[in-house]
């Protein structure tokens, strides 16, 4: 965008309402939280129905592998509880004690999800080793096969839905929970393969496949734990930082960028930037540059809902900067 167009855009910005106004930002934040809660409720119902269907088959087949898979699905459904609480807390307004709001509750929920995935891996390994040491004959194989297919389909649909919504609203915890659902889908697929192996007379197929699925769950656990760890450590995609710097350098009056920091709070981004301007500018002119910088950041950086822009004067080398102006736009 040329400088002339930038100045024209600023004039329009001063005369018309904009989508980065506080009320609109609050609406966007609430809408993303509603989307997350909706995803949790839908997946909770789907996984509960899946587990109930499998439990009915467990009752007359005596399949230990299917019992383990049913427990996995119930555990996956229960992860909706910490995530639901996190999304509910994230909708609360900031307080004097929690000035950044309660979005970080999602990171705590992400830790809970990772722990549940780890517990699922441990349970899967336990049942597999137990079956390996104490072989048992599986009965009602067609029903067990069908229950495994239902479990795989239910978990995979829930996983795709959670991951898609989580990535759309920027929730690492919801993505991790979707990956957890996918691990339980793998466990259900193991039941299908175990039933097929038992039909061929391979009693060892159930525990061996169970151990293989445990290894797959551990790989997914690694990915989910890494995602949650990065959020806890305030990591952002370097491409977002590069994008923000490019937008700031295009603003008329900005001579340099002396600092830029970005962080996730829940599923929303916050940014703090420091730009260098001509030291001879008036306070009003410096404020206009800060306002323009905030405007460009909140309009062009995905899921950025809050930006604070500091303005430093461009003095001769070695001189102290005596002027520091900030312009911040935050949701009410």
**Which CATH number goes with the domain that contains 65?**
1.20.1510.10
3-state helix, strand, coil in the chain (%, to 5): 65, 10, 20
pLDDT tens-digit profile of 76-96? Answer: 777 778 878 887 888 888 899
Cβ(273)–Cβ(295) below 8 Å:
no
Residues 294 and 267 in one domain: yes
Q: Which residue blocks in 170-322 are alpha helix, DSSP H?
A: 172-199, 205-232, 238-249, 283-300
Residues 106 and 66 in one domain: yes
pLDDT tens-digit profile of 214-243? Answer: 787 788 788 889 988 998 899 999 999 999
* pLDDT at site 327: 55
Residues 287 and 186 in one domain: no
Percent of the residues in the chain that have a pLDDT greater than 70, as a whole number: 83
Residues 262 and 169 in one domain: no
Task: Name the residue with higher pLDDT: 320 or 297.
Answer: 297
Torsion over CA: 144, 150, 151, 156 (sign): positive
> Which of 232, 264, 293 lies at the terminal end of a domain, its last residue?
232
C-alpha count within 13 angstroms, C-beta hemisphere, residue 282: 3
Residue 227 falls within a domain, yes or no?
A: yes
CA dihedral 185, 189, 192, 196 (to 10 degrees): -170
Q: Which two tokens stand for residue 202?
A: 């391979």
Cβ(67)–Cβ(302) below 8 Å:
no
Q: Which residue has the tokens 């691990």?
A: 183
Task: Name the residue with higher pLDDT: 314 or 64.
Answer: 314
C-alpha count within 13 angstroms, C-beta hemisphere, residue 69: 40
For the cut 80, the answer to whether the pLDDT of residue 184 exceeds it is: no
DSSP state of 307: E
Residue 10 falls within a domain, yes or no?
A: no
DSSP state of 261: E
For residue 193, what are the CA distances in angstroms to 22, 149, 211, 242, 332?
54, 10, 13, 47, 54
- The pTM score is 0.70
Residue 15 falls within a domain, yes or no?
A: no
Q: Which two tokens stand for residue 94?
A: 């900031």
Residues 58 and 191 in one domain: yes
Residues 54 and 117 in one domain: yes
Pairwise CA distance, residues 295 & 290, whole Å: 9
Torsion over CA: 101, 107, 113, 115 (sign): negative
pLDDT tens-digit profile of 97-151? Answer: 998 888 888 888 889 888 888 887 888 788 778 878 877 776 788 888 888 888 8
H or E element, residue 313: strand 304-314
* pLDDT at site 3: 47
> Which of 232, 250, 269 lies at the terminal end of a domain, its last residue?
232
Residue 110 falls within a domain, yes or no?
A: yes
Residues 210 and 252 in one domain: no
pLDDT tens-digit profile of 288-311? Answer: 999 999 999 999 998 888 899 999
> Which of 215, 232, 249 lies at the terminal end of a domain, its last residue?
232
Q: Which long-range contacts (CB under 8 A, 24 or more apart) does 20-25 make?
A: 20/294, 20/295, 20/298, 20/299, 20/329, 22/329, 22/330, 22/331, 22/332, 23/332, 25/298, 25/305, 25/306, 25/329, 25/331
pLDDT tens-digit profile of 8-51? Answer: 444 333 333 333 343 343 444 445 667 878 888 888 888 888 88
Residues 167 and 304 in one domain: no
* pLDDT at site 321: 44
* pLDDT at site 241: 94
For the cut 90, the answer to whether the pLDDT of residue 275 exceeds it is: yes
Q: Which two tokens stand for residue 40?
A: 């949790």
Residues 188 and 64 in one domain: yes
Burial grade of 28 (CB within 10 A; 0-12, 13-18, 19 or more): middle
- Average pLDDT over the chain reads 79
For the cut 90, the answer to whether the pLDDT of residue 166 exceeds it is: no
Report the domain count for the chain: 2
Q: What is the mean pLDDT of residues 281-286?
A: 92
Residue 11 falls within a domain, yes or no?
A: no
Residues 221 and 276 in one domain: no
Give residue 54's domain range. Answer: 22-232
For the cut 60, the answer to whether the pLDDT of residue 324 exceeds it is: no
């Amino acid at each position: 965008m040329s400088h002339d167009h930038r100045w024209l855009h600023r004039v329009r910005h001063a005369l018309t309402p904009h989508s980065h106004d506080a009320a609109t930002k609050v609406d966007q934040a609430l809408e993303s939280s509603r989307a997350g809660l909706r995803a949790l409720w839908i997946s909770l119902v789907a996984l509960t129905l899946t587990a109930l269907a499998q439990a009915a088959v467990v009752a007359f087949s005596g399949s230990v592998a299917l019992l383990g898979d049913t427990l996995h699905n119930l555990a996956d459904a229960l992860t909706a509880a910490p995530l639901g609480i996190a999304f509910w807390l994230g909708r609360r307004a900031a307080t004097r004690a929690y000035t950044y709001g309660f979005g970080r509750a999602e990171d705590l929920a992400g830790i809970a999800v990772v722990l549940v995935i780890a517990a699922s891996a441990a349970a899967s390994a336990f049942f597999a080793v137990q079956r390996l040491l104490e072989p048992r004959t599986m009965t009602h194989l067609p029903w067990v096969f069908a229950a495994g297919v239902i479990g795989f389909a239910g978990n995979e649909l829930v996983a795709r839905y959670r991951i898609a919504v989580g990535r759309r609203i920027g929730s690492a915890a919801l993505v991790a929970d979707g990956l957890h659902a996918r691990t339980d889908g793998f466990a259900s697929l193991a039941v299908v393969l175990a039933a097929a192996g038992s039909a061929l007379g391979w009693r060892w197929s159930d525990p061996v496949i169970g151990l293989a699925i445990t290894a797959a769950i551990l790989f997914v656990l690694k990915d989910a734990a890494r995602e949650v760890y990065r959020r806890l450590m305030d990591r952002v995609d370097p491409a977002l930082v590069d994008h923000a710097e490019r937008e700031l350098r295009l603003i008329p009056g900005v001579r340099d960028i002396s600092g830029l920091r970005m962080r996730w709070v829940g599923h929303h981004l916050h940014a703090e930037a420091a730009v260098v301007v001509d030291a001879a500018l008036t306070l009003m002119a410096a404020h206009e540059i800060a306002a323009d910088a905030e405007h460009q950041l909140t309009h062009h950086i995905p899921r950025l809902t809050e930006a604070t822009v500091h303005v430093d004067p461009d003095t001769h080398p070695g001189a102290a900067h005596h002027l520091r102006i900030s312009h911040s736009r935050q949701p009410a």
